[in-house]
Amino acid sequence: MRLLSLLLTVSLTLALAYYIYIPLPDAIQQPWKLMILDAYLRTAFHVASLKQWLGFDHQTRSFRQFTFGFEGILKEFLSTESSAGAVPGVKVSDISFAGIPVRVYEPPAGGEGHLRRGLMYFHGGGWAVGTTKKGPYDITNRMVSDELNTVVVSVEYRLYPDVHFPVPYLDCIAAAKHFLSPEVLAKYSIDPDRVAVAGDSAGGNLAAAVAQEISVDDSMSVKFSVQALIYPVLQALDFNTPSYLQNQYIPVLYRTSMIQFWLQYLNIDLSLMPEFLVNNHSALQHSSLTPELRSRLDWNVLLTQKYKKNYKPVIVEKGSEGFLKRVPGLLDVRAVPLLAGPEVLAKCPRAYILTCEHDVLRDDGLMYVRRLQDAGVAVTSDHYEDGFHGCFSLTSWPLEFDVGKKALRGYLSWLQNNL
């Protein structure tokens, strides 16, 4: 009997270790914490799939509850407060801007007589999960408001599966135009020359696209003065960039997960995933993807050797017919900001772009750094050799990572000096 229970314990422990363990690059610090987080997310994903299969709720909706309930559950369980939790002086209001729900953070100081900074934030989460109200985004935006004396507006744009592109983009652009109107800026005592747009991951995609659109819109008298993009998603035409290949199995954003987020956003059937994995969707036969457009995301030219390493471009001669016609979003700069022309980029605001070495999206960000610089825009490129996707949101207990805290500090100090 005792032998049996011992055997059972040993095999369960081994099974658990096997489930949790993922080989990670040496550069990643606190690897076990990352593995446990990833195992939690994988489990949540499987449970959410099971719930959908049983007919309870959409997988993405259940997954959303799991992801943003995690910290809350742990904190309640251990009944401790996060060190970076509520900032007492910041006034928080949940209101709407042009019909779009937003959460506004007003700093304790100022308002009477002297003007403050403004910042609009779009959270990440693959256009499918994430919220302004709970977890890391709420903490970070409170911090920005308090430490930088900034009025922060965090936008609760609509998500998949309720909507697809272009709805999230249109929500963001509507909120941005409302925010930049002289009346609203005056109401919050914001200096019109010091308004930023920022976002991480899918939110970085929205921030880049919104910054471009506002920059070329002659009807806007106030424009964003800076943009801060945290490991942004910027293109969907090449899923074989060196970073997509190098980091395809690095948590928490796997290559197939990122492609799945894109397919959901652009309303493409998930059964087409294999075609996207081999770049069939951007095959040379598609004449609408002109050489000029291709050059805008040609990593063989836009990346330095340090990042290209020995990777070779994956260019398919012939893919399936009519792909780009069926999915116009793939060539739409509002979804794929890296495709914007130099004349648009030249008008864009000064930029801070954060990239992580161990992130499938590294090259999206690095290519945008280069293209903005080529267009004459001043860019600060902040690259974290020990960074991984999502670290910017993993800064408070129990999910704190040193690299995340460093990245958050880098973002705050750039804004302090440039906004």
Ligand X SMILES: *[C@@H]1O[C@H](CO)[C@@H](O)[C@H](O)[C@H]1NC(C)=O
Known catalytic residues are 201, 359, 389
Percent of the chain as helix, strand, coil, to the nearest 5:
45, 15, 40
Instruction: Tell me how many degrees the CA angle 259-404-157 measures, rounded to the nearest 5.
Output: 50
Among 55, 88, 113, 274, binds ligand X (CB under 6 A): 274
Cβ closest to ligand X, residue 240 vs residue 280: 280
* Contact window for ligand X (CB under 6 A) among 25-33, 272-280, 348-356, 381-389: 272-280
Among 7, 270, 278, 284, binds ligand X (CB under 6 A): 278
Does a cis peptide bond (omega within 30 degrees of 0) precede residue 252?
A: yes
Tell me if 320 contacts ligand X by CB under 6 A: yes
d(CA 232, CA 319): 27
Contact 330, 229 (CB under 8 A): no
Binding mask of the shown chain, residues 280 to 319, with x at each position contacting ligand X by CB under 6 A:
x-------------------------------------xx
Cβ closest to ligand X, residue 187 vs residue 318: 318
* Contact window for ligand X (CB under 6 A) among 239-247, 273-281, 356-364, 375-383: 273-281
Q: Which residues of 122-138 are buried (b: 16+ CB within 10 A; e: fewer)?
A: bbbbbbbbbbbeebbbb
CB of 283 to ligand X, least distance (A): 7
Cβ closest to ligand X, residue 43 vs residue 320: 320
Q: How far is CA 291 from the centre of its chain?
A: 28
Instruction: Tell me the backbone φ, ψ of residue 88, rounded to 5 degrees.
Output: -60, -40
Tell me if 326 contacts ligand X by CB under 6 A: no
Residue least distant from ligand X (Cβ): 280
Cβ closest to ligand X, residue 174 vs residue 277: 277
CB of 141 to ligand X, least distance (A): 42
CB of 326 to ligand X, least distance (A): 14
Residue ranges in 90-227 assigned as alpha helix (H): 135-147, 167-179, 182-187, 202-216
Cβ closest to ligand X, residue 76 vs residue 321: 321
Contact 184, 153 (CB under 8 A): no
Cβ closest to ligand X, residue 146 vs residue 238: 238
d(CA 152, CA 105): 5
CB of 309 to ligand X, least distance (A): 25
Residue ranges in 29-86 assigned as alpha helix (H): 31-53, 59-78
* Contact window for ligand X (CB under 6 A) among 42-50, 206-214, 216-224, 274-282: 274-282
Tell me if 275 contacts ligand X by CB under 6 A: yes
Tokens of 302: 């836009």
d(CA 292, CA 298): 10
Binding site for ligand X (CB under 6 A): 274-275, 278, 280, 318-320
